[in-house]
Amino acid sequence: MSKKRVLSGVQPTGNLHLGNYLGAIKTWVDGQGQYDNFFCVVDLHAITVPHNPATLAQDTSAIAALYLACGVDLNCSTIFIQSHVPAHSELAWLLNCITPLNWLERMIQFKEKAIKQGEDVGVGLLDYPVLMAADILLYEADQVPVGEDQKQHLELTRDIANRFNHLYGKGESVLKCPNPMIRKEGARVMSLADGTRKMSKSDPSELSRLNLLDPPDTIAQKIKKCKTDPIKGLEFDNRDRPECHNLLTLYSLLSGKPKETVALECQDMGWGQFKPLMTETAIEALKPIQTKYAEIMGDPGYLETVLRDGREKATEVANTTLVKVKTALGYSLPT
């Protein structure tokens, strides 16, 4: 039996942080051997909010290099850039025409981001989840590893696939319905400045997140300044101590120690003892990623080859699905 297919992506907007790594990329890497994987840098999504044309291309390659640096293995995974495969835009248009407007207006992420943009909010931001559905459905993905915040978009993708099949499938399933793959711990990494808010690329404060490429002294400074509480003795799962839960979770995931081990180790600690330990653990965990990243960025020809091969493989799979969809919709195909 052939391996199940995985597809996921990250936007090239800003630096990747621990939320992106622990919520998404680490899940890709940990499970990749069992699957046939496609990982894209979703640069078409990046322009749904104001972006900088002068850095878009560079930011996009940097994310692809980070995928490799985090351990994505080209023996079982394909890395490519979304905008290099035109089928993504084309399928998004076709799916737009069968997606009810009110399905999109309900999306929490749209509502949150739209508020920030006020009157200027673009159609692209509303349509973002349809493009994401196209990304996933083109590759007939069985599993989509994402952080908790993307769950609603995955449900929408399933709804769109089912609606398409119902309307145009003539009893067959043209589009494959994907399943979300959301890890138990790390699916929602919280801000270092407020344990009740998600760690996010768009938070104006750099102190709220640890970035994968932060140098050791920046990591040390951010952890030194991160929000804690006045209680001695550290614990998981106390609702009144969200920062404590978040920091212990990060420590557990970055050190590779199980939750129970960390709970015992830290039960009598104060913050003065925990913070240096956390700092050292974060620096050590990120060091191999940073070293590999520097190596890859030092050899631009290598990255170009990876992305060219990726584009070829992705195009072949994506175009096959696109032909199926266009045929089901009744289009004549060019001869």
Which of ligand TRP, ligand AMP, none interacts with 135 (beta carbon under 5 to 8 A by kind)?
Answer: ligand TRP
Of the residues 4, 176, 201, 257, only one is catalytic, namely 201
Q: Which does 65 bind (CB under 5 to 8 A by kind): ligand AMP, ligand TRP, none?
A: none
Tell me: does residue 208 bind ligand AMP (CB under 6 A): no
Is residue 27 within the footprint of ligand TRP (CB under 6 A)?
no
- What is the rounded distance in angstroms from the CA atom of residue 133 to the CA atom of residue 148? 17
Q: Does 155 bind ligand AMP (CB under 6 A)?
A: no
DSSP state of 25: I
Based on the residue annotation, tell me whether 184 is a catalytic residue of this protein: no
Are 287 and 60 in contact by the 8 Å Cβ rule? The answer is no
SS3 4: strand
Residue (of 9, 4, 17) closest to 207 by Cα position: 17
CB of 82 to ligand AMP, least distance (A): 12
Cα distances (angstroms) measured from residue 227 to each of 32, 222, 251, 308: 35, 10, 15, 44
Partner whose footprint covers residue 136, from ligand AMP, ligand TRP, none (CB < 5 to 8 Å by kind): ligand TRP
| Residue 7: contacted member of ligand TRP, ligand AMP, none (CB under 5 to 8 Å, by partner type) | ligand TRP
- Are 142 and 4 a contacting pair, CB within 8 Å? yes
Tell me whether residue 198 is one of the annotated catalytic residues: yes
Q: Which is nearer to ligand AMP, 183 or 275 (CB)?
A: 183
Rounded CA-CA distance 275/24 in Å is 25
Asked if 183 touches ligand AMP (CB under 6 A), the answer is: no
Please list the residues that pair with 4 across neighbouring strands: 35
SS3 label, residue 106: coil
- In the residue annotation, 176 being an active-site residue is answered as no
Tell me which stretch binds ligand TRP (CB under 6 A): 55-63, 146-154, 211-219, 323-331.
146-154
CA dist list (Å): 300 to 39, 55, 69, 307:
19, 16, 14, 11
Do 121 and 114 touch, CB atoms closer than 8 A? yes
Binding ligand AMP (rule: CB under 6 A), the pick from 51, 98, 142, 149 is 149
In this chain, which stretch among 31-39, 143-151, 202-210, 222-230 interacts with ligand TRP, using CB under 6 A? Answer: 143-151
User: Which of 154, 247 has the CB closer to ligand TRP?
Assistant: 154
Given a contact cutoff of 8 angstroms between Cβ atoms, the answer to whether 174 and 324 are in contact is yes
Residues near ligand AMP (CB under 6 A), total = 16
- 180 forms beta bridges with 144
* Beta carbons within 10 angstroms of residue 305's beta carbon: 11
Identity at 75, one-letter amino acid code: N
* Residue 214, SS3 per DSSP: coil
Instruction: Tell me the closest approach of the beta carbon of residue 49 to ligand AMP, in angstroms.
Output: 11
> Cβ contacts of residue 239 below 8 Å, gap of 6+?
none
**Does 150 contact ligand AMP by CB under 6 A?**
yes
Q: Within 1-40, which residues bind ligand AMP (CB under 6 A)?
A: 10-11, 19-20, 23-24
Q: Any contact of residue 199 with ligand AMP (CB under 6 A)?
A: yes
Does residue 9 belong to the site contacting ligand TRP (CB under 6 A)? yes
The amino acid at residue 68 is: L
Binding site for ligand TRP (CB under 6 A): 7-9, 11, 42, 45, 132, 135-136, 144, 146, 150, 153
Binding site for ligand AMP (CB under 6 A): 10-11, 19-20, 23-24, 146-147, 149-150, 187-189, 198-199, 201
Give the active site residues.
113, 198, 201
